[in-house]
Structure 1
Amino acid sequence: MLMTMMGGLALVPAVTVSTRDLRVRDLVRGASAATADLVVLRIGDRAVPTRLPADTVVALLRRRVPGLHVAPTLGDVTIWYRPLAPTNAMASTCATAARDLPVGTPLSSDDVIRVPCSGAGSGSLRYDARNRMNVVRAPVAAGDYLGAVNVPARKAVAAGTALTLRATVGPVRIERRVTTLQPGRSGGRVFVRDDGGAVTSMPLLLEDAR
Structure 2
Amino acid sequence: MALMLVGWCAALLPADRASWAAAMKAEVDAIDDDGAALTFAIGCVWGAAKERILSRSFAARSMQFATIAGMLAISLLSALMTKRMIAAHHQSTVVFTLTSVLFAAAALRGYLRGPMALVQIARSVLPIYVLAYAFTSSGPGPAGGWIDARLYQALAIEGIGIWTAILLAGVFMIRVGTLPTITRM
TM-score if structure 1 supplies the norm length? 0.21
Counting strand residues as a fraction of each chain, which structure ranks higher?
A: 1
TM-score, scaled relative to structure 2: 0.23
More helix per residue: 2
Higher Cα radius of gyration: 2
